[in-house]
Structure 1
């Protein structure tokens, strides 16, 4: 049975996937997802006018007005927001979300798996199985203990929401989630049908515990962070990299080019455009300190996470003779710059900015836990929540105009427009 963080994290993904699509089979699940969505975007913000909240929630989070009051009531009961009322009307909200508490866990304490209907429970159980690997349809039925017609309905709904996708590979039906595996899903489904899901899950779990390990070192030692790999698992890892399923970054140093292995890149619903650059900078940060830890030219880094913590806390890393080679790629990515100290010794200084701070926090979390934390926060939405009503109205109007601009002319109107164009040739 799912509970706490897991329950709400999966509900968030379903809500993000379905957006404005109404699903009669779902009830409480959408409310759970909406509550989680709103909570993660409110942390750290000041008092918000309810009319602004209403429009931002509808535009960015697909939370309709009729559902927003219930969601705000839930967050108020949890203690995450205070409601400012005038009579029965909500005038504004005051976020009161703890900075050092897991938001998913906090919202998860309010809900229970047992209050969901069978379609909602089935959806979350399937999605939970697909977070770390694709899976054979028949094995899903056996593992979860779900009826075949119910699984069929859940998968059909999920295909519409793009959090489930089904493939036919080697005579088997393979189900995967584009939310957790964004690249080359067809090949991943084929690999699953060929080698089975268990080895894929094992390899990805080992990578998660050792994010940013150099591929050359893995191949040489047949191990990853002290965890031995079988020959088959090694071949699988290399194949996943070669086919672009893992898409490990390759970084050029002075005398070498190294590839660093990370878990799969999340899909677009979990990694929007504003967070993509943060993700890439975080991988580069991890790769550079892994280079110093595992492939140092002369002086080895003993605690890579501590190096990044120092960079976060004091804004620079102490000078050393390998800094130019080790951190030059971070200069190209505008993460920071190198400052000459003396001789061949340089310091790496972090370039101030919200994106770089976020990338550094993500890199530290990758080294500590292996998790891609806080990539579900849409910065554009948080900015809109901190502005007045005119700001969000301008965004909505621009989006509507863009939509209207895509409507194609038909029939006589198209012919008249074409003749008008010809007149000016």
Structure 2
């Protein structure tokens, strides 16, 4: 499609957009009395209007039923998490038994490493990506130290080549081969939080497992954003937060995937708790742990229902729409945003550099823009003028045109605000 940098053209795209109606399902902040252009769904998604009803339902059940809400609420609390299995499995490409919700992202990754990082004298190394999200770096280093190893000995970071912003697939595969029989685990973010690069998870998973290692993925920026086939790709485990692209609310519960090939392996280490115990016998209070045969067997405590309610509201919306429709609009609106950025850059004789891959299959709902010659002053201008975006040092703004609630006219209007901000600083 040939794009135009005009409001009329953007409005035409919105008129043809089958998902445009979902914009009205969300609550937007306002700046100077006007609804904002919201580009930070890759950090915290907007609140769906339907969320309040789901939370109010739990509050009403608690008020009317108290402890009996566990069994007699309209959505009984004792099996509340089971309502996520079907819709979440479609979002991440899994069997319903392979997914559950519990804890928060880094907690779940720690729990997964209990099961899938068991270093030996020979096989003890972990491959991760350079400039992973800091929480992942802290987690991996602490796990390595917990096993009595030194991070500089056990952790292998795949680095970008000099002068390049993204990691090459061949460099990942070469590193896996080089580490070889010393490799215990590959744990990478499926979508790099800084650049927005999407990794070839299918190819990397096979390479890691062929080397004799487990392979897991941090899908904080992947779940609800990209096409995933975790079951078919034979991924060992994955975890994700729910508050970015799935709009469940700040700091909310994490999703978890464990491939079915591990469900009956009772020798696999895990930190166990009573909510992971055989559901039919859970309330018999037996002394010996008999895990649920599925991802729920990694649960530890009963679930925070007030946190799960907003998440359930969101995944049911995803189920209405389907990932194929979301991905189609994601690709179109991201391409239009890319066009707008290049147009404004040309008009102001600027020096923008989009460091997110230009190849559609290597990116998703994020463009990271290096502002050569511009700085924090431009970011502040955008924020004060109703464009909510994200600043990352040293000089990058991250823009996430989330297809559920961003419009094509938003992309055009952002371009005009960006242009005005640059010109005002050049005077």
TM-score range, shorter chain: under 0.3
TM-score (norm 1): 0.25
Q: Specify which structure has the higher proportion of helix.
A: 1
Structure of higher CA gyration radius? 1
* More RCO (CA 8 Å, sep 6+): 2
**TM-score, normalising length: structure 2:** 0.25
